[in-house]
Amino acid sequence: MKAWLDGATILLASALGLTVEIVAGRLLAPYVGMSVHSWTAVIAVVLGGFSLGHWWGGRLAGPDCDRLRGHRRLAWLLAGSAASTLLAVPALRLAAPHLDAPGVHPLLAMLGFALAGFFAPSLLVGTVSPIVTKLAVEEAAEGEVGRVLGRLFALSALGAIGGTLAAGFLLLAWIGSGGAMLACAALYGLMAALHAGVARRAAAPAALIALAALLLPAAAARLPAYARSCDAESAYACLRVVDAAGLVGQPARLLVLDHLAHGVNVRDDPTLLVQPYLHLADELMRRRGLPDRPAAFFAGGGAFTLPRAWAADHPGGRFVVAEIDPTVVRLAREAFWLEDSPALVVIARDARAALQALPAEAAFDVIFADAFQDLAMPVHLVTREWHRAVRARLKPGGAYLVNVMEDRREPRFLLALWRTLAQDFAHVEIWVEMAEQPPGRRITYLVLASDRPTEVARLAATRGPARAWARLPPDIVAARAERARVPLLTDDFAPVERLMAHLLLSPEGSGR
């Protein structure tokens, strides 16, 4: 009985600790995005909590900690883990006005949110394993200490693996991040009830604690702090549907993934492209001679704004959209007026894997990369190896388009991408809107790579809002890339976050 209880405690405590860590990244994403920087902050804070908790647990597992006192202390510590996990989401909401505010450095915001929500649960659950281990080792038979330690360490590792898999593959997709935290709080509470019952050798107190462990999370789920800020939540993002009728002047909706706008769709006019970079992509390809029955591949779906527009304009075309998140596809159909069409093919797969699975022959007039992780592009969609796969599947005269959000003053990632594309494409162009840009450092560029140049260096809208765009002079771009000494991006080395750190970690550049 003792060995079973010790093993179960170690296993579940490790599983819940890692579940909370994975969920933490999702809970922070609507405030600070999901990037290597936000994950670094979460992991550092959680590991710091575990470390301090191990130290404190070692102190609590002193000479006076016999089996009875050990269970009593575990009951209190697990109850504290339940309470702090239950309060993590409200703590983020309370911290938001102070951390998610103009002028707050993004790195400080990431660390602040991680500390506010997840240091206390990690600290308290970190105390469990030293106490359990001490009790088990002291009671081990002579010569069995090594086997006992090995069993507990193995169970701890298995629990961590199980918690990670459960959070990433099941909980976030099925009950959301808030629901996952409530479930963890309830399980911590039930573990506390079990240890309280063993310590008191009475069923009644344990039953009351177990009842509280179930009722309190159920009641907390109805509180405003636990009201879902997402219209849909997947394993990849928090998705929100924002009414954009006031912006457009007719029924329209904006899709927000985490904290980044990803597309505006107009209900009654699919071809009205509100966002300038999508408008530019449409005008640029029509100026370059988009055929009546075009074939296009889109790396990333978002609101399906441009595929929807082109499918309406060219019902005889073929538009393949690779979107890894099925929730994005479902929401596009339910809330963004995406209709099934023989011209539209959706592949629920990562864009690179989806493209490379297609025959290695020229098949597309356009390949458009419009995928983001926070402000940065996914690393595997910026490398030379990816570009070679793209080039192999473009028809003669076809174009590869890349949407890039970058710094207006020091676009180091943009220059690295230009240099990398230039290795495999004869012509690489960078286009920007000719309009007064909003304040801040971040602007949107559209990069075009092809085997033939665009015949014009300036472009005016022929439909939709009155806009104009210009191509940056190639010699100036080449000179800036040379001076910046930006690296060639490959599968072995593509430091996207480092190249964009000046933007991602700038209050002005990140839009904070």
Q: Does residue 42 fall inside a structural domain?
A: yes
- Within a domain: 392: yes
214 and 324 housed in the same domain: no
pLDDT at residue 225, rounded to an integer = 78
What tokens does 450 get? 């092809």
Residue 299 is inside which H or E element, if any?
Answer: strand 295-299
| 275 and 207 in a common domain | no
At 439 the pLDDT is 56
Residue at 260 is within a domain: no
Half-sphere exposure of 494 (CA within 13 A, CB side): 19
CATH code, domain with 400: 3.40.50.150
User: Left if phi > 0, otherwise alpha if psi is -120 to 50, otherwise beta: which for 465?
Assistant: beta
Among the listed residues 244, 192, 237, 233, the one whose alpha carbon sits nearest the alpha carbon of residue 213: 192
Beta strands 252-257 and 458-460 are unpaired
Pairing type for strands 238-243 and 458-460 reads unpaired
Q: Clarify whether residues 275 and 193 are in a common domain.
A: no
Whether 175 and 275 map to the same domain: the answer is no
Say yes or no: 287 and 220 in one domain.
no
Last residue of a domain, one of 163, 198, 229: 229
Last residue of a domain, one of 229, 261, 292: 229
Task: Using the CB atoms, write b or e for 9-43: b if 16+ within 10 Å.
Answer: bbbbbbbbbbbbbbbbbbbbbbbbbbbbbbbebbe
| DSSP-derived 3-state class of residue 235 | coil
What is d(CA 440, CA 472) in angstroms, rounded to the nearest whole number? 20
Confirm whether 346 is domain-assigned. yes
The answer to whether position 254 is within a domain reads: no
Q: For residues 448 and 335, state if they share a domain.
A: yes
CB 262 within 8 A of CB 268: no
Number of Cβ within 10 Å of residue 511's Cβ equals 18
221 and 290 co-located in one domain: no
Domain limits at 297?
A: 271-504
Query: What's the pLDDT score for residue 507?
Result: 61
Same domain? For 296 and 413 the reply is yes
Helix H, strand E, coil C: the string for 322-361 is ECCCHHHHHHHHHHCCCCCCCCEEEECCCHHHHHHHCCCC
pLDDT at 314: 94
- Co-location of 275 and 137 in the same domain: no
Give the chain's domain count.
2
Given a contact cutoff of 8 angstroms between Cβ atoms, the answer to whether 252 and 336 are in contact is: no
Domain contains 239: no
Among 409, 408, 481, CA closest to 445: 408
Cα separation, 390 vs 394, in Å, equals 7
Token pair belonging to 394: 């473009």
Shared domain for 219 and 277, answered yes or no, is: no
> Over the range 392-428, which residues count as b (16 or more CB within 10 Å of their CB) and which as e?
bbbbeebbbbbbbbbbeebbbbbbbbbbbbbebbeeb
Q: Is the distance from CB of 96 to CB of 27 less than 8 angstroms? A: no
Q: Which residues pair with 444 in a beta bridge?
A: 405
Q: Could you tell me if residue 241 is inside a domain?
A: no
> If you search the block for the tokens 């210009």, which residue do you land on?
470
User: Residue 6 sits in a domain of what CATH number?
Assistant: 1.20.1250.20
Please give the chain's pLDDT, 512 residues, in tens. Answer: 678 899 999 999 999 999 999 999 989 988 887 778 888 999 999 999 999 999 999 999 999 999 899 999 999 999 999 999 999 999 999 998 899 887 788 889 999 999 999 999 999 999 999 999 999 998 888 888 999 999 999 999 999 999 999 998 888 878 889 999 999 999 999 999 999 888 876 565 677 778 887 888 888 888 787 877 788 888 788 899 999 999 899 999 999 988 788 889 999 999 999 999 999 999 999 999 999 999 999 999 989 999 999 999 999 999 999 999 999 999 999 999 999 889 999 999 999 999 999 888 889 999 999 987 666 788 999 999 999 999 999 999 999 999 998 888 889 999 999 999 999 999 999 999 987 766 567 889 999 999 999 999 999 999 999 999 999 999 999 999 999 899 999 999 999 888 888 776 766 555 55
Sheet bearing 252-257, strands edge to edge: 232-233, 238-243, 252-257, 260-266
Residue 220, amino acid = A
User: Considering 202, 229, 256, which residue would you say is the last residue of a domain?
Assistant: 229
pLDDT at res. 229:
77
Residues 281 and 400 in one domain: yes
- Contact, 348 vs 380, CB < 8 A? no
Q: Please give the pLDDT value at position 38.
A: 87
Position 266 in a domain: no
Using alpha carbons, select from 74, 177, 163 the residue that is nearest to residue 124.
74
**Residue 454 one-letter amino acid:** T
Q: Which pTM value belongs to this model?
A: 0.85
304 lies in the same domain as 223:
no
